[in-house]
Amino acid sequence: MSKQSVPTVSRGFLWTALGAAGVLAAVIVFNGLQARAKDGAQLKALAEKQSAVSVTVISPSSSTDSSALSLPGRMEAYAKAPLYSRISGYLKTWKADIGTPVKAGQLLAEIDTPDLDQQILQAKAELASTQANAALSENTAKRWKSLESAQFVSGQAVEEKMGDYNVKLAVVNASQANVNRLQALKNFSRIVAPFDGVVTARNTDIGQLINVGGAPGSELFVVSDVKRLRLYVNLPQNQIAFVKKGSLAKFTVPEQPGQVYTATVQSTSQAINSNSGSMLVQLSAENKRGELLPGGYASVSFNIPAQADRLSVPPSALVYTKGIVQVAIVNAENRVEMKPVVIARDYGNRLELLSGLQATDKVIENPPDGVTQGDLVQVRTAQASH
């Protein structure tokens, strides 16, 4: 049997075959990895879509309705006069207790002033003495004047007598002024009401030692005009432009439930308190029936016109993160965007925003806990906010 010859394979062919096989294997591996990556991305997207939170979005609303701004206020008497003593003595009697209506000039109390009475007697005696000396000096000057015409005395001597008379006359005037001063002080022994009003404080009693006073807390009586009251309110700086002189406000007090009163803005302090960031506003209110009590608390309501260029959202739409107020919106890719906002006014059921949102934004009405920038969400039905 003859021996068959084995064909020889060149080395170049082997390397070419191996290279082709390697390329084929690389292509297969690359395609496999690409397919796996694609499947992984699809699985990730599917998982993300399935785990996306379902949310309801609303559109920010703009309102043209006016609103009421409610602020706490404090009532004070339109006129309030603390009455102090101008003289020392002992309280002899008082005529009006707290809550007593009084008229201007009505006697409230009398002070017994024995020391002052003796000073007046002494001053009157000194006045009588100086008047007698002046009268004697006047008669002497007249006699010397007549002697001068007869040339018995010199003109210089007459001038000296006239000068002595003028000096004694000045002493009389000074003594008279002292008597008048003491008598004027004596008039202060009668404590009278400075105007029509009500006695709102009495800090003295019969027999009490009275000293000349002026320090807070040492007043004998306080008389207040309660027929009209002043109402003081601290107005936030961002609301100052809406409250003008002559504006009307309504207010209520705890002791008169259901009763609404009207007040008129009289003036403003025209300055911002650096501690509170507010401006003091003074209003006046009639109190002819005496229902309102000075010093009492009041809830004051101002009618504030709405700002048509401002948007509003419900309070549930706010997200507080590290002291920053934000609103979560949904973009075109159904992903969350966090927008910082500035609140202008709080109406209770809605918040008026000064800035931060646009009318076309889709606001998440009630953002779920832990919602962050870029989260994928599923949008349910959109509805307008009211």
**Distance from C-alpha of 365 to C-alpha of 327, rounded to nearest angstrom:** 9
Tokens of 350: 């809605």
Match 């390397």 to its residue by tokens. Answer: 15
Answer for the pair 198, 226: CB distance below 8 angstroms, yes or no. Answer: yes
Helix (H, G, I), strand (E, B) or coil at 46: helix
Closest CA to 294 of 262, 326, 253: 253
Residue 358 has pLDDT above 90, yes or no: no
For the segment 22-38, the average pLDDT, to the nearest whole number, is 69
How far is Cα 275 from Cα 279, in angstroms, rounded to an integer?
Answer: 11
Domain covering 114-188 in this structure, CATH number:
1.10.287.470
- Distance between CA atoms of residues 278 and 240, nearest Å: 9
Structure-block tokens of residue 212 = 């000349």
SS3 content of the chain, % helix, strand, coil (to 5): 30, 35, 35
Residue 227 host element (H or E)? strand 221-236
Q: Side chain identity at 183, as an amino acid letter?
A: Q
Helix (H) or strand (E) holding 251: strand 248-252
Average pLDDT over residues 117-129: 94
**What residue spans define the domains of the chain?**
53-64+309-384, 114-188
What residues contact residue 102 under an 8 Å CB cut-off, 6+ apart? Answer: 96, 108, 193, 196, 197, 198, 199, 223
Quick one: CATH architecture of 53-64+309-384? Beta Barrel (2.40)
300 touches 72 (CB < 8 A): yes
**Res 291 pLDDT > 70:** yes
Q: Are 101 and 226 in contact (CB under 8 A)?
A: no
**Contact yes or no for 288/225 (Cβ under 8 A):** no
- Residue 363: name the closest of 48, 55, 64 by CA: 55
Among 62-66, 105-109, 199-203, the minimum mean pLDDT is found in 62-66
Residue scoring higher pLDDT (190 or 336): 190
Q: Looking at the chain, how many residues does it have?
A: 386
Given pLDDT bands bounded at 50, 70 and 90, which one contains residue 58? confident
- What's the confidence (pLDDT) of residue 384? 45
Q: Which two tokens stand for residue 7?
A: 């064909």
* CB 201, CB 221: distance < 8 Å: yes
Q: What is the pTM for the complete model shown?
A: 0.58
**363 forms bridges with which residues in the sheet?**
58, 329
In the predicted structure, residue 335 carries a pLDDT above the cut 90: no
Going across the sheet that includes 89-94, the strands are 190-192, 107-112, 89-94, 209-210
- Is 286 or 53 the better-scoring residue by pLDDT? 286
Give the per-residue pLDDT at 299: 94
pLDDT at 87: 92
State how far the Cα of 262 lies from the Cα of 251, in Å rounded to an integer.
6
Cα–Cα distances in angstroms (integers) from residue 332 to residues 58, 327, 329, 361, 367, in the given order: 14, 16, 10, 10, 17
Distances (CA, A) of 383 to 21, 125, 328, 338, 350: 62, 98, 16, 20, 15
Pairwise CA distance, residues 220 & 243, whole Å: 39
Quickly state the pLDDT bin for 66 (edges 50, 70, 90).
low
Q: Return the percentage of the chain with pLDDT > 90, whole number.
A: 42
d(CA 199, CA 224) in angstroms, rounded, equals: 6
Tell me the per-residue pLDDT of 145-185, one tens digit each, with 9 for 90 and over: 778 777 777 878 878 888 888 999 999 999 999 999 999 99
CA distance linking residue 223 with residue 170, whole number of Å? 42
Question: Between β-strands 89-94 and 209-210, what pairing exists: parallel, antiparallel or unpaired?
Answer: antiparallel
Partner residues linked to 55 by β-bridges: 379
